[in-house]
């Protein structure tokens, strides 16, 4: 097996240091649909989770619970940039705030898919390898894209 330039680089995390970088990747979903997902760093995800905590009482004791519906909405708004081949009654469904919220809450598994995909750094590495023409494994840096 021959070594190439990405094998020598290792895991390039430089884009994580650039606060202005928007890391995103098209990922397959179901039945040929694809979703453009933005990477969300752990500290930002933690902040979203904290903002969705609610104080409730169980057996007269205060407990904090995460409002998962609100969390999925916030993650969707932050991480779903666009999609392809998602249709409604045979017509393409535009990626709007309303449609994004609807899918995050009503399409079983979509919210979890978005959350899992947005927090898995290797998703963004694989996309970079494909653009470089190398499919040997996740060894390259993430893809930086700008949102217009």
pLDDT digits (tens, 9 = 90+) for 55-95: 888 888 888 888 888 988 999 999 999 999 999 999 999 99
Residue 82: closest CA among 15, 18, 14, 145? 145
Q: Is residue 127 part of a domain?
A: yes
Q: Is residue 36 part of a domain?
A: yes
**Domain carrying residue 119:** 25-131
Q: Taking the CA of residue 2 as centre, how many other CA atoms within 13 Å lie in the half-sphere pointing to its CB?
A: 3
- pLDDT digit string, tens, across residues 107-136: 989 999 999 999 887 777 755 545 555 443
| Residues near 24 by beta carbon (within 8 Å), at least 6 away in sequence | 36, 37, 38, 39, 81, 124, 143, 145, 147
Count the domains in the chain.
1
Q: Is residue 142 part of a domain?
A: no
**Could you give the C-alpha distances from 51 to 35, 44, 68, 98, in angstroms and in order?**
25, 11, 11, 21
pTM to 2 decimal places: 0.69
């Amino acid at each position: 097996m021959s070594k190439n330039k990405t094998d020598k680089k290792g895991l390039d995390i430089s884009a994580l240091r650039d606060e202005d970088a928007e890391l995103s990747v098209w990922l397959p979903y179901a039945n040929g649909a694809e979703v453009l997902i933005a990477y969300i760093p752990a500290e930002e995800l933690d902040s979203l989770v904290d903002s969705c905590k609610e104080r409730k009482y169980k057996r007269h004791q205060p407990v904090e619970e995460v409002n998962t519906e609100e969390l999925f909405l916030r993650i969707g708004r932050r991480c779903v940039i666009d999609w392809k081949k998602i249709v409604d009654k045979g017509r393409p469904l535009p990626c709007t705030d309303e449609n994004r919220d609807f899918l995050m809450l009503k399409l079983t598994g979509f919210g979890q898919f978005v959350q899992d995909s947005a927090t898995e750094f290797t998703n963004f590495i694989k996309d970079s390898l494909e653009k470089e023409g190398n499919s040997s494994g996740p060894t390259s840096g993430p893809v930086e894209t700008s949102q217009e």
